[in-house]
Structure 1
Amino acid sequence: MDIRIGSWTGREAWCLQQALRMTDRDLAEYLGVSRNSAGNWRKGGEDWVCSSGTAQLLDRAVERLNAADRAVFVEKLREAGAVSTPAATAATGLVGPLTLTSHQFIPMQLGQSATSLFDRGSSSPAGPANLDRRALKVSTDAGRDGTLHIYGFGIGVLHVRQQLRLNSLTELALWRYPSYRENRAWAHREVTTLASSTAATTEFPPPDYVLSLYELRQHRWEGAALDPALQLLASPGGLVDRTDETQILPLGVEEQRLADGWRHPDAISFTGGVSRGVASWSGVAYHPEPGERSLLVDDIVAMELDTQALWALSAHLLRLVEDGLDPELPSPYDWRWLRGVHARLTSARPTETAEHRAMRAAVIGTSDLPQRLQAAWAALKETT
């Protein structure tokens, strides 16, 4: 029996722990996570949404189950009331809807609030551009899980995760664009609230845009049919009519485009060890297979956090130039630093895997970021 969990929550993780007959400590050591994580799964139930990296660890644990333990796992899922969830659908072998995790990246210019928010945040591992970054959790509501990543040069990127269970890619597109408006407004309110408790000056402009990464967990396509689906997932705008942004309408072209093997002309495909992904101007789609070890969703998230922070920074600097003003950066950042960032982002590292290099090239290659960074550092250099 092939068991595929569409969206791992504490409920499914606790079912797995029971099937393995392990204590919190045993399970933590088995998976390579903290003991507190295992305890949180049991206590949090379906309200505790596992991270992408943890979900892949749990997927691998399911792969290693023997036949007897698999049967126990399925039974525990049923006993837990997971019959209508993607987990139970996958466990019973039924064809279910699309299950995915939406990652939205919402950049914001923080202005004078950046320093106080940065000082308040917890340390975060540096991403591919090796930028100073700290993180603050944002209150969750409406199924949103938010973390504000604050960069020392005055930009914040709010990373919003939402679990989705949909019947089609068109349904995703119909959800996507209203969610952009709603989440931009929500992000501005939440970050304003955070800033108001740490700084005297809390006024900053609302975010200009949202970029999405879709982590496809469960789907109905087989073999090569997954490729056009990922293409549409990365660029779903062509599935709907957005003439009136207040009333997004379906075009009814999804099945035909899938049958035609549709590809976006500017999209770039990349692969993990056994997984597939697509990057485009409007977003990224990735389907992590259970056995994936070369390229994790967390690697793509780290890439997009740095990319969107630098895109927002360059946009701010170039907007000043367009307005006839001299661009400037807070100390110790200057044009030489920005030139170094460009080199780190666009150059392969000696220890970088081929899969990570392909993903980085796809994300950077569809963002126009290298050209924007060059223009920004040239403008900064002129003012020194």
Structure 2
Amino acid sequence: MADSNRVIDLRTRSTYTPDCATLARNRLALARQSLGLTTAEFADILTPMVGWPVTADAVEAWESSLVPPGDVVVAASAVTPTSSGRAGVRSHKFIAAYIGAEAATKLGAGAEPVSGWLKRTTIAAEHPSGACELHLLPFGVAIYHLVEDLEVATIASLAVWRYRSYRENLAWATTNLRQLTGDANITASYVLSAYWLHTPIWAGRMLDTAVRIISSPRVLVDRGQECSDTVLATAEQAERELLAEGFAPREMQAFGVDGVATGYSSWSGVAYHPLDPARSLSEDELVECELSIQSMWAYCEYLNHQVEQGHAPVASPGYGWRFLRAARSRLANPRPQETGQHCAMRDAILHTSGLLGHLDQAIEALREDSQ
């Protein structure tokens, strides 16, 4: 171990001058080598990031003799975070199932305490990987809310973890609900994720792109390769390309505010990063919004599945088409004291989820059946 009494602070040495040019060249070379890219491939990644054409010859010169421009060094560092650079993300998974109104009531739905306009009842649940609660709705929906704190070096690793853990989450929720209700036919139907990015490793335009990718990680993972050994490497390559080139699918909706927060919603999920926590949405607001929307989504899925099977839809008592019409109004229309940010979030999540179409179909089917 070094003797701390013999350590010399270089700032006290007036004759010490760091070789910044060599440091910059080495940083560029190490960045390219860590990515396993040729000079031409690295130039292709740098070009859209710096906004002017970068050539393979230029990269080679910067690594050997010339001093690389500052924007090139920053761009190279951005696409290759150091081994200690890990993003802090809190994953919120909403695991939904329809268990029936009778089963939900037996488990506590409708009893005090209740939460929100949907009269949601919450009971504690134990999960091996994070904090978990079971939310019960009186019309027969059960939603597990699983919170997992993660540190990831790449978005690709988050995407791979997400899809591999989904199968485990669905199996776990199905087993638990069957044990609680005694009904062997209950099956958890889907998992929806929302990510709260509290510690990013990106900045500027790249941070915005990163939040977009996190909200739609399917773009990194080929469904047919989810279980292969090469899936992570393939996903990391796709991530590097998208971070460099940008990622802005038309179906994705933004709900951030410049200088306050970055937020995006897609069919796959939601991602949010508070730039200014004092002015941004709170994590609880995001969770509450998702719980309301996913509760109705799961109920409409159950009703519309009956229609698709050629049956007359059977709604839970007291939760027929009039209830769905009221729910649609509450979800689609802004509240008098709702903030602009909250309204934008609700609109973005509501429209990318496809819930409005689900609601309209369920309302129409139940009205036709009641006539």
TM-score band, normalised by shorter chain: 0.7 to 0.9
2: CA distance, partners of 1:121 / 1:216: 35
Residue in 2 that maps onto 1:228: 209
Counterpart pick for 1:104 among 77, 93, 101:
93
Residue in 2 that maps onto 1:194: 180
Give the number of equivalent residue pairs. 282
The alignment status of 1:212 with 2:193, answered yes or no, reads yes
The alignment status of 1:161 with 2:147, answered yes or no, reads yes
1: CA distance, partners of 2:109 / 2:329: 27
In the superposition, relative to structure 1, how do residues 205 and 192 fare at CA in structure 2: closer, same or farther (>3 Å)? Answer: closer
Q: Normalization by structure 2: what TM-score? A: 0.72
Task: Give matches, 1:248-263, under 5 Å.
Answer: 249-250=231-232, 251=234, 252-263=237-248
2: CA distance, partners of 1:208 / 1:173: 20
AA matched with 2:203: E
2: CA distance, partners of 1:233 / 1:119: 33
Residue 245 of structure 1: how far off its partner (Å): 4.2
The alignment status of 1:117 with 2:107, answered yes or no, reads yes
Residue 113 of structure 1: how far off its partner (Å): 1.3
Residue 240 of structure 1: how far off its partner (Å): 2.1
Counterpart pick for 1:146 among 132, 137, 144:
132
AA matched with 1:133: R
Residue in 2 that maps onto 1:311: 297
> Which entry has the higher C-alpha Rg, 1 or 2?
2
The alignment status of 1:367 with 2:348, answered yes or no, reads no
Deviations 1:212-267 (A, max 9, x none): 00111111111222111011000111112221443371321111111112112211
CA contact (8 A) 1:102 1:163 kept: yes
AA matched with 1:195: T
Residue in 2 that maps onto 1:268: 253
Tell which deviates more after alignment, 256-265 or 148-157: 256-265
CA contact (8 A) 1:314 1:373 kept: yes
Residue 293 of structure 1: how far off its partner (Å): 3.8
Counterpart pick for 1:291 among 277, 298, 320:
277
2: CA distance, partners of 1:256 / 1:245: 19
In the superposition, relative to structure 1, how do residues 336 and 234 fare at CA in structure 2: closer, same or farther (>3 Å)? Answer: same
Residue in 1 that maps onto 2:315: 329
2: CA distance, partners of 1:226 / 1:304: 23
Residue 312 of structure 1: how far off its partner (Å): 1.1
Unmatched 5+ stretches in structure 1? 1-93, 197-201
Residue 296 of structure 1: how far off its partner (Å): 0.8
The runs of at least 4 consecutive aligned structure 1 residues that moved more than 6 Å come to none
Deviations 1:75-97 (A, max 9, x none): xxxxxxxxxxxxxxxxxxx9630
Q: Normalization by structure 1: what TM-score? A: 0.70
2: CA distance, partners of 1:356 / 1:226: 22
Residue 301 of structure 1: how far off its partner (Å): 0.8
**Aligned-partner SS, 1:240:** coil
CA contact (8 A) 2:252 2:264 kept: yes
Residue 292 of structure 1: how far off its partner (Å): 3.1
Counterpart pick for 2:337 among 351, 370, 383:
351
1: CA distance, partners of 2:222 / 2:314: 40
In the superposition, relative to structure 1, how do residues 342 and 169 fare at CA in structure 2: closer, same or farther (>3 Å)? Answer: same
Residue in 2 that maps onto 1:184: 170
Residue in 2 that maps onto 1:133: 120
Residue in 2 that maps onto 1:61: none
AA matched with 2:91: S
What do you get for the CA RMSD once the two structures are aligned? 1.9
**Aligned-partner SS, 1:306:** helix
Deviations 1:139-184 (A, max 9, x none): 131x221111100100011111111111100011111111000011
Identity of aligned residues (%): 37
